[in-house]
Structure formats: C-alpha cells, structure tokens
Amino acid sequence: MSRANIRDVAARAGVAVKTVSRVLNGHPYVSDALREKVQAAMADLDFRPSVAARILSGAKSGQVALIYDNPGPYYMFQIQKGCWEVCHDAGIRLLVQPVDVADPRVGEQVRGLVSETHVDGIILSYPVTDCEPVLRALETMDVPFIRISPGTNQALTSSVFMDDAQAADDMTTYLINAGHRRIGFIKGDAHHMASDDRLFGYRRALDRVGIPFEPQLVVDGEFDFESGVAGARVLLDQPARPTAIFASNDDMAAGVLAVAHDRGINVPGELSVAGFDDTTLARTVWPPLTTIRQPMADLARTATRILIAGGDITHKRVPHELVERASVGPPDKATQRGTPE
C-alpha cells in the first residue's frame, strides 16, 4: 500500500492542499476547526509529513521548477517524468522551463523566473547544471537548488549523478573482452561535461590493457543522429577501419548502424556497434543496440526527493547498467587482417 501524501490528506479533510500545508507549517491564519479536521485526516491516513512539510516550510508557492536545455526528447521526457512523480506524491506543482545556455541573458532569465513564480526550489538538468550565469544568479537568491549530473564545482550544491567515466570504461572493456582492439569512439556535445567523462572512460579502459590510444579513432559528435552518420563515415573511410564503434549516445549509434547498412557492412559480423543511454531507439533499431542504461528517471526522482527534504548538501550516485543486445559480437577475422599491429 502506498504512503499517503498531502493530496490524500486534503481530500480526506475536504480542504485545499494549501490549507494542509498551512497546518503543517503552523500558519497562524488557520481556524481551530480546520486545523482539527486536517490533523484528524492525517491521523486517519497515518500521514508522515516530513517530505512535503520541509519544502513547504515558509514556502510562497508550493512549486518547484525544472530548468533544462537539452534537445534529446527521450532524455527530457524521462527527467520530467521522474521529477513529476515525486512532486505529485508530495502535493507540489512542477514548473518546467526551457532555456538556452548560449544566451548571454540566461542568468537574468532564470532570476526573473524565480522572482515571478516564487518557486520553492530549482532542479537543474545538464547542460544548465554547469551554466555559470545560471549558477551565479541562483547563488545570489534565497532559493535552494540541486543539479543533475554536474561536471564542475560538484561541492557547490547538492547533486545527483551517474559515473559517466566508469560507464564508458565498462562498455569499452566489454568490447575489448569481445576481442576488439581497434575501437572507434564518437564523442558527445562539447558543451556537456559528460562527453569528456565518457571519452576519459574510453581512454582509461584502453590504457589499462595496453591498447595504444589512436586519435584518428575518435571523432566529434553532437548527440544526434546526423553527427553519428558523419562520424561513422569518417571512421569507416579509414584504410584500417575499426572493428567496433562506441557512440556516446544511442542516437549517434543509430547513425552508425545506418551507415553500416548503407555500405553493406554486417552488424555485428563485420562491425560491432555500442551506444549509451538505453533509449527506446536502442530497442527498435536493427540489430538492437548493446548500450549503457542511464537511469535518467531515477536521477530526476532522487534529485527531487533531496530538494524536497532540504538539509545539508548531499551528493548521490545512481548506478548504471550495461545492457547486452545483438549489435556486439567478436571481430571479423577478415577485417582484423587489415588492422595494423
């Protein structure tokens, strides 16, 4: 049986959610009769108000805001879903606000959002999580905020994160254990700190087993299908092409698959392909992608719970998972013969 939330209390008492929050906060302008009704409803439901009460303590709006700048629809759907679930259970309204981190006015825009809505807390998803103008603006305002997957100044605020470097290390090691020695890598968007972390993990895995790092096997990407296509063409045009390509997200990995299919390269017979994120796309392309499952909704849920709970600065790592599917196999012997020693 799920635990009662502030909305359940309001419904049982026949009052507004705001009235319940006022009772929880000891607001003086609540009649004794209403207070008794709410307290009776809380007792009937065995309601424990620690989560909702802390954020609503002294609150102006009973709202929190999620601020984002990420073109990936699957990523943002999962982040919004996770935040909304926790807010809904706590009887808190979630506002979702897109921004452009490249806009020189972004800090003032966020300052205006907080001033106009009087939100009780802010959740930042990356790359906003590392946007200096936004961080400076929030630091000057009396509003708590938490960052999802920060790449800089991790000690600045509470945060939740996944170990992107270890996840990329795990995938690269998986490809090495499958027999691959010439592994191409497509980087993510340069504005995302996770892109550097994933490259670091790739290089660390190679170094650990003594495989020399070859700069020509690393190409830039933008976390979209088109850059995956472009990166695959560069890698597969090389005289000694890689036997595996690890793309920093599933959209780019799908682009690699498209190029391989177009050129008649069998996957995974002649080329193994791996992705990152485990989006719906990873399960619908052919062959289905071996990928890293990034717990996006869990990151969002955890961040929202920490924000609501308040208290000291907290840092929480959420575990990832390597998902094996059909896009990775042992390297083709004929292809390996063209690989330099």
How much is the pLDDT for 54?
A: 44
Residue 78, domain extent: 63-162+296-318
**Residues 86, 39 within the same domain:** no
**Residues 184, 270 within the same domain:** yes
What secondary structure letter does DSSP report for 2?
P
How much is the pLDDT for 269?
A: 96
**Residues 231, 180 within the same domain:** yes
**Residues 105, 28 within the same domain:** no
Q: 55 in a domain, yes or no?
A: no
Give the tokens for residue 36: 């008794």
**Residues 138, 221 within the same domain:** no
**Residues 140, 198 within the same domain:** no
Task: Check which CATH number belongs to the domain holding 246 and give it.
Answer: 3.40.50.2300
CA 156 from centroid of its chain's CA atoms: 19
What secondary structure letter does DSSP report for 215?
G
Q: 56 in a domain, yes or no?
A: no
Task: State whether residue 145 is helix, strand or coil.
Answer: strand
Output 72 or 114, whichever has higher pLDDT. 114
Which tens digit of pLDDT belongs to each residue from 169-220? 999 999 999 999 999 999 998 878 889 999 999 999 999 999 999 999 999 9
Which tens digit of pLDDT belongs to each residue from 225-253? 999 999 999 999 999 999 999 999 999 99
Residue 134, amino acid: V
Residues sharing a CB contact under 8 Å with residue 223, sequence separation 6 or more, in sequence order = 71, 72, 188, 189, 192, 195, 248, 249, 251, 252
Q: 31 in a domain, yes or no?
A: yes
Instruction: For residue 306, count CB atoms less than 10 angstroms from its CB and return exposed for 0-12, middle for 13-18, buried for 19 or more.
Output: buried
**Residues 135, 228 within the same domain:** no
For residue 229, give the nearest of 250, 252, 248 by alpha carbon: 252
**Residues 168, 246 within the same domain:** yes
Number of domains in the chain: 3
Q: Tokens 């020509």 identify what position?
A: 216
Q: 258 in a domain, yes or no?
A: yes
Q: 15 in a domain, yes or no?
A: yes
DSSP per residue over 52-121, as a string?
A: HHHHHTT-SSSEEEEEE----HHHHHHHHHHHHHHHHHHT-EEEEEE--TTSTTHHHHHHHHHHHH--SE
Which tens digit of pLDDT belongs to each residue from 99-139? 999 899 999 999 998 888 888 899 999 889 989 999 999 98
Q: Tokens 């292809």 identify what position?
A: 335
**pLDDT exceeds cutoff 60 at 52:** no
**Residues 119, 230 within the same domain:** no
Angle at 255 between CA 252 and CA 256, to 5 degrees: 95
Question: What does residue 185 show for φ and ψ, rounded to 5 degrees?
Answer: -135, 130
The answer to whether the beta carbons of residues 146 and 160 sit under 8 Å apart is yes
**pLDDT exceeds cutoff 80 at 25:** no
Q: What average pLDDT does this structure show over 150-165? A: 85
Task: State the average pLDDT for the chain.
Answer: 88
How much is the pLDDT for 141?
A: 83
Q: What average pLDDT does this structure show over 270-275? A: 98
